[in-house]
């Protein structure tokens, strides 16, 4: 089941362990959209993302689509950076989310959450990345909710 609420995904509702999921690009750009709220609340997700980006640059590659970075931000809250966006949106490139990469990342999140955590997110991949929520919602349903992982989607 996917529950929709009005609120801030950086302040997940409920008790017990929680995983906040969001989508990052593969080129090291961090500074617009939901990540601003994350960075304001916790420095760890941004610093881990930038650390892995620097390593990728040294190896002359991009971050790998579909991979995740798991960052503990509080005793009972993890943030997962899913590398699910190819580059940045522009006038010519309106959609940069890569649905298959987000799906792959959510499979990894499912293994992490498996009966111990709830998953919380904004409408991932549908803001600056230009994705369609009706497509993304189906992916979230298939990869998390259909496997018994409770999901809460936050509309700010």
Q: Which neighbouring-strand residues pair with 121?
A: 153
Residue 90 is part of a domain; what is its CATH number?
Answer: 3.40.220.10
Distance, CA of 106 to chain centre: 9
Please count the structural domains in the chain.
1
Six token digits for residue 119: 């998953």
Show the domain range for 81.
2-155
Six token digits for residue 79: 């943030």
First to last CA, the chain: 20
Compute the distance between CA of residue 136 and CA of residue 116 in angstroms, rounded to an integer: 23
Q: What confidence tens digit (pLDDT) does each residue in 4-43 have?
A: 999 999 999 999 999 999 999 999 999 889 999 999 999 9
Residue 119: which residues within 8 A CB-CB, separation 6 or more? 18, 19, 21, 109, 113, 144, 149, 150, 151, 152
pLDDT band at 1 (very low <50, low <70, confident <90, very high): confident
Compute the distance between CA of residue 59 and CA of residue 55 in angstroms, rounded to an integer: 6
Write down the pLDDT at residue 156: 87
């Amino acid at each position: 089941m996917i529950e929709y609420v009005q609120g801030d995904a950086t302040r997940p509702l409920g008790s017990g362990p929680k995983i906040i999921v969001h989508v990052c690009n593969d080129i090291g750009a961090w500074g617009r959209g939901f990540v601003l709220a994350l960075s304001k609340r916790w420095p760890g997700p941004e610093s881990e993302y930038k650390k892995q980006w620097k390593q990728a640059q040294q190896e002359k590659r991009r971050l790998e689509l579909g991979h995740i970075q798991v960052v503990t931000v509080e005793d009972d809250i993890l943030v997962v950076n899913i590398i699910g966006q190819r580059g940045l949106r522009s006038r010519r490139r309106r959609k940069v989310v890569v649905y298959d990469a987000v799906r792959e990342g959510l499979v990894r999140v499912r293994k992490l959450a498996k009966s111990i955590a709830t998953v919380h997110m904004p409408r991932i991949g549908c803001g600056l990345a230009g994705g369609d929520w009706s497509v993304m919602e189906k992916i979230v349903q298939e990869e998390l909710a259909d496997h018994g992982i409770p999901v809460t989607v936050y509309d700010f």
